[in-house]
A and B are shown apart, each in its own frame.
Chain A
Amino acid sequence: METIEQLRESLQETTRLKAQAERYRLESELLLGSMEAVLKTDAPSDMFAQMFDVFRQLLPCNYCFVLEPSKPGEMRCTACSEGTFINSTWGVDALFKKVLEGHTLSTFRLDKIPEWQQQPESLCNVAASALYSPVALEENTAILVLTSADVGGFSKSDEKLVARFSALVAQTMANVAAKLLQSENQQLRVAKEKAEADLIHAEKMASIGQLAAGVAHEINNPMGFIFSNSSTLRQYVDDISVLLSQMSRWIDSDEEPSADQLRECLSEFRRLWQELDVEFLREDMASLLQDNEAGLERIRDIVLALRSFSRQDKGTWEAADINSGLELTLKMVMNELKYKAEIVSDLQPLPQIQCQTGRLNQVWMNMLVNAGQAIDSFGTITLKTRPVEGGIEVSIADTGCGISKEGLARIFDPFYTTKDVGEGTGLGLSISYSIIEQHGGRIEVDSQLNRGTCFRIFLPLKMPPALSKEGEAIAVS
């Protein structure tokens, strides 16, 4: 049977074990807590702040640092509980070399290390002892440094604890690297999308520029006869004004005309009426005004189509009827094509598809203009649409010069062009390919030299899920 003395002794031993168990428990709780906190934080600085807080709760440290190799013989502080030491450089001394070999160790007095004088001067005044632990990273080894204001601030159990935490540090740094990479990738992707959008817009503008001459011609025609008609109408108005002036003489007078005066006036009216051929004027004025209205309507249509077509595409995804886009585009390019080809249009009713209308219109324009340019004298351009399984198909065929086998292999390469310098960017088909790809579709080409070329574009009703996410990213960019 145990005596009170033995029980007391047992209690002492149990207390020693309990202290150790408590330390393990605290360590485990904080490890789990800090892992959770670290994984929840977004900014690298927050992650390290969380991690350093953990160390400060567990250990008697006043500063925490993460040092990473910067150049031979030197390490750089990449994270610190005290911002002033960020980017400070630390010489690699004998102690660091040992740590970099994989040992976690502590020094009881920093002033016992001659090389300590190489470390940041301001730190020498506030740190009496330090604990070091290697942190294995993907490409190199970093060092976690904890300092204490007290001599012998760290015990062996502290070293073991920190060694275990080094895994957490490595995890944190990997996390930071991953987040930075993710952020970098996101920035790159945004930049890429922007560059791509800029390129598409630039190419569209270049295409529109090519069309500008035709558009100007189409606008100038009605403008010409509108001006001419206006001039004629002005003459007619002047003529009628003479007649009206004659009438105003008696209408504005207070004097009652005599019978002779009335006869004389009527005679003058008849003379002027015949001289001016007022009947003709009435008919011609109505005709001129009708012509002008028609001309102005044509101009309005061209301007509206041009404005609609050249509008900067914001990447909006919407359910749309492809036929409408084709018709609009056709109206745009008709000025260019009508002198080169007969346009045969066979647009069958289509289901609406989820798409970026503006960008698809650019594809249609590019292909129709290419078709027109492939025709030397006068030919036929056939535009067809039809619903197919899972989507729709658009085909644009011309009876032009055709494309060689070598050319077929390269037509979608950026900057590939057979046009003269200054006439094409060489990006039209490349960008068209990219746009169709972004829609989850595909382009097929059949061509025979001197017989013509047919582009068939398949577009799905809905994009595949993987592309759908990308589409969303593009949409918000």
Chain B
Amino acid sequence: MQIITKSSLQSSPDRAVDELLSALPEGRAPSLAILSGNHTQFDEHALAKLSGYCPTLLAGSSCLGVMTQAGMAQGDGVGLGLFALYDDDGAYGIGSAVVGDDPRRAGYAALESALADVGRAWQTPDLVWCIMPPGKEEEVVGGMVDLIGASVPIIGGSVADNQITGDWVQYVDGELCHDRVVVAALFPSGSIGYSFSSGYMPDELSALVTRVEGRHLLELDGEPAADVYNRWTQGLLNGMAPGSSILMHSTVNPLGRLVNAADGYTEYLLSHPAELTAERGLQLFTEVKVGERLYLMHGSMESLISRAGRVADTACQLLEEGHHPVGALLVYCAGCMLTVADRMPDVVKSINQEFRYPFLGSFTFGEQGCFLDRTNRHGNLMISAVVFGAD
């Protein structure tokens, strides 16, 4: 097994793709290729060339760019990264489906086609890697679980653009798409270690959801949700007009639901408030339901910086005994990335300190992963790492 990662800051998509391809050995297609980067770099012509070299390609946009072991690859209209995995003894397949009005069915169908693509329509894969548009991730993940059950980790991220303007993109079968769930079914010859983490702390402040419409949280304990949240955060929303993006402000104070309390440890599923709405509500990046208790969560800049390295290290330790890391895929919440902003090189540094192998990190508008109770969920403000190991 061999993993090669490469990033490019070329402004021309064609030249960026050429630069990425320059890192790959000639005449040998990777078993699996994952492309991530600034949505502005997604160009059909350039990507067609890439997919010619990398037929098993999963490609989706990432907020502002990517990170690799070489550093951040971000910039105005630039930033593209490639993860190329060579594993002759493994098996990998790609599938996709339009999310449309039936996200659950799309999740099911995309995974089904990925398994068919690898010729293992019935075999349990080691891992499912996915990208999907933000909005209905819970249902998409639910569809995959419907097909494959709860025992396979489903890890991935929601494709992102740079300004939350809906410009996120996937590249599937020679076309740029905006509403596709794209799935890779992985049967590596080695082992996989994964970790999915959020280090936020719950506050004593909590309230029950009393009114909600999908991801639009309207009331907490019968009060407008924004008023409750503003009180909890001691005026974080003061002076903000309805429709304002609060994404960066709320990164260190998201809302959390207790989803797992076992063995003395509590696990919270985070919801990132993205926008203050005209109804004094909060637009979230995840769904919540009436009756659920939401806690105010606390995070810090320092933990956002150091967390990725620890997650990668944990994933390494979860590799099969005797296996050594070869490379990794990382998903880093775009909201966290935007908050950390200029200190993102420190994030890469923290990863490199713990993980001295090639990796590709994407910045996403939602993260899907497997919690400690072995349940696949969609959440926000998460960091996940999938490490590939070989003996």
Contact = CB atoms under 8 A, between A and B. Distances in A.
A110 B265 CA distance: 36
30 contacts: A3-B300, A5-B201, A6-B302, A8-B201, A9-B307, A12-B199, A12-B265, A12-B267, A13-B197, A13-B311, A15-B263, A16-B314, A17-B314, A18-B263, A19-B263, A20-B318, A105-B123, A105-B124, A106-B123, A107-B123, A108-B151, A129-B149, A150-B150, A151-B146, A151-B148, A153-B151, A154-B124, A155-B124, A155-B374, A156-B192
A106 B303 contact: no
A307 interface: no
A16 B122 contact: no
Contact of A5 (B192, B298, B317): B298
B87 interface: no
A466 B61 CA distance: 81
B195 interface: yes
Mostly helix, strand, loop or mixed at chain B's interface? Answer: mixed
Contacts of A107: 122-124
A95 interface: yes
A154 B150 CA distance: 9
A156 B374 CA distance: 12
Contacts, number: 107
B302 A3 contact: yes
Given A5-B298, A15-B372, A105-B124, A154 B151 contact: yes
Q: Is the interface of A mostly helix, strand, loop or mixed?
A: helix
A159 B124 contact: yes
A15 B314 CA distance: 10
Given A107-B124, A112-B121, A150-B149, A17 B265 contact: no
A11 B122 CA distance: 37
Nearest to B196: A16
Contact of A9 (B123, B192, B197, B263): B197
A9 B372 CA distance: 13
B306 interface: yes
Contact of B303 (A5, A20, A110, A112): A5
Closest 7 CB pairs of A and B: A152-B149, A9-B199, A155-B151, A112-B122, A13-B314, A106-B124, A151-B149
Interface string B249-275: 000000000000001010100000000
Contacts of B71: none
A342 interface: no
A106 B124 CA distance: 5
Contacts of A154: 124, 151
A5 B299 contact: yes
A279 B211 CA distance: 146
Nearest to B318: A20
A8 B199 contact: yes
A161 to B, nearest CB: 12
A413 to B, nearest CB: 63
Given A129-B149, A150-B150, A152-B149, 15 more contacts: A10-B310, A11-B265, A12-B265, A13-B313, A16-B372, A17-B314, A17-B317, A95-B123, A106-B124, A108-B122, A109-B147, A110-B122, A113-B122, A129-B124, A151-B149
Interface string B117-144: 0000111101100000000000000000
A4 interface: yes
A158 B198 CA distance: 27
Contacts of A158: 151
A16 B194 CA distance: 10
B200 interface: yes
Interface in A149-207: 150-156, 158-160
Nearest to A159: B124
Nearest to A6: B303
A302 B116 CA distance: 94
B197 A12 contact: yes
B167 interface: no
Nearest to A152: B149
Interface string A345-377: 000000000000000000000000000000000
Contacts of A106: 123-124
Nearest to A107: B122
B320 interface: yes
A88 to B, nearest CB: 21
B233 to A, nearest CB: 16
Given A3-B300, A108-B122, A13 B201 contact: no
B152 interface: yes
Contacts of A151: 146-149
B149 A13 contact: no
A150 B149 CA distance: 8
Contact of B372 (A12, A112, A153): A12
A105 B302 CA distance: 43
Contacts of A105: 123-124
B330 to A, nearest CB: 15
Pick from B121, B149, B197, B263 the residue with the most CB of A within 10 Å. Answer: B149
A4 B200 CA distance: 10
